[in-house]
Chain A
Amino acid sequence: MSRLSHFFTTSIGQKQLMAITGLVWVLFLIGHLSGNLSLLLGPEAFNAYAEFLSSQPLLIPVEIVLSIILLTHVFLAIRITIQNRTARGTKYMHKDASGANFASRSMILTGLLIFAFMIIHLMNFKFGGYEDHDLKLYGLVMEKFTHPEFSLMYLGFMLVLGAHLVHAIQSVFQTFGWNHPIYTPLIKRISLALALILATGFAYLPLWAWLIKKGGV
């Protein structure tokens, strides 16, 4: 037990938990985007995919585990931020980021925005009443995204997600202690590419539904 609490109470332990819980959600995002791309194949394919997922017996347990992992990530993030602000004490009169990029400095902001987005997202789709829709989930998605303000909101949030991931993914490796003069530059490039693929991939779907398909089938 004390070994476990070690991970919740020490600075490096919290760091490991942040990395592990974050990594699980990066993997989730990869799966989520891959599945969502079936939207491009039309209503049958997308609805079949949605049907396949929701009929999995392990769906609820997996959702519970993912939620716990997410809440741990959010809880630790808030606690770490409070600890870090306290550790500074009096702020500098003249600030300089000393080369730290925007993404790395704004993890708590982008993170909380993503959390808020997840709630909005679930309310709109998972609990958005797609069963009553003619074309089920496909129909609901296409209808929602034809509203420009709704699509634009999604684009904005995907920008935020991209910023969070740009720092997050490569950061995991440093936290696990994997830093090497040859591999680290490569890891950073692959992380950047993955962050961009995820953010643009998710951003493409509302754009496609809104501007290319114009909400049609």
Chain B
Amino acid sequence: MTNGLNLKLKIWRQKNQSSDGQLKDYHVKDISPDMSFLEMLDTLNEELESNGEEPVAFEHDCREGICGSCSMVVNGKPHGPERGTTVCQLHMRRFSDGDTLVIEPWRAKAFPIIKDLVVERSAFDRIIAAGGFITARTGSAPDGNAVQIPKEHAELAMDAAACIGCGACVAACKNASAMLFVAAKVSHLSLLPQGKVEARKRVLDMVKVMDQEGFGNCTNTQACEVECPKEIKIENIARLNREWIKASAAARDV
């Protein structure tokens, strides 16, 4: 049995979208270093519930770092201090006994807070709906090597497709820009032959909706790349810029 951690938590509590929120102090005792960050919050919630208090609302689903549901900022860092890790995969051994942890929701106008740490991320869905897909049926799985894709492109597309759409890039960016998310989606589709056909229309439509949703402008600070739990690179943002320039210059109807 390892020694448990005693932590002071300052958690953002907000009743609903229209009410004002504030940080509230909590203490958790004897937290196992083997617990995940979310399990630590579960422990707190059990205690709150047994005291008849409202548990802290936070999003979670897979707890395996693949669904992108979990979303909270720990001491100013989206998904906490561990690089390339979602907060559900973050272990409490990363912290020391006596630490104070400030836990806040993603902060962006395009992601309104629904309750406590839960934010509305359907702005991302609307960006995807604007063009983050291939409209034509691509048929069933083609014969091996029937569609030739250079290994490098396959790898780059795969790296971009690792994006789980959690929104940590928006949360980390000082401008609340969604460029890394859009860049990942545009990259993973435009690098593959099936996605090339609609590449121009896609990039213009997705960027248009991204702007409409009220995300900020990218100023190349690179904070998104640092905080992305899937380590998506800003090289993808350069590709997005490139694709957008090409599409804007060539488009006949803009």
Contacts and interface: CB of A to CB of B under 8 A. Distances in A.
Contact of A3 (B207, B243, B254): B254
Contacts of A92: 73, 76, 104, 107
B223 interface: yes
Contacts of B107: 88-92
A175 B241 contact: yes
A94 B109 contact: no
Interface residues of B, number: 49
B155 interface: no
A104 B218 CA distance: 11
Chain B residues touching A, majority SS? mixed
Given A80-B219, A84-B174, A11 B207 contact: yes
A62 to B, nearest CB: 27
B6 interface: no
A22 B78 CA distance: 32
Q: Give the size range of A's interface with the partner.
A: 35 or more
B110 interface: yes
B237 A83 contact: no
Contacts of A104: 219-222
B245 interface: yes
Interface string A67-108: 000000000000010011011111111111111110011010
The 10 A-B residue pairs with the shortest CB-CB distance, nearest first, are: A96-B76, A177-B242, A179-B238, A87-B216, A84-B175, A100-B221, A98-B223, A94-B102, A99-B226, A84-B216
Interface of A: 2-3, 6-7, 9-16, 80, 83-84, 86-101, 104-105, 107, 167, 171, 174-181, 184
Interface of B: 10, 12, 23, 73, 75-78, 102, 104, 107-110, 172, 174-177, 179, 207-208, 210-211, 214-223, 226-227, 234-235, 237-245, 248, 254
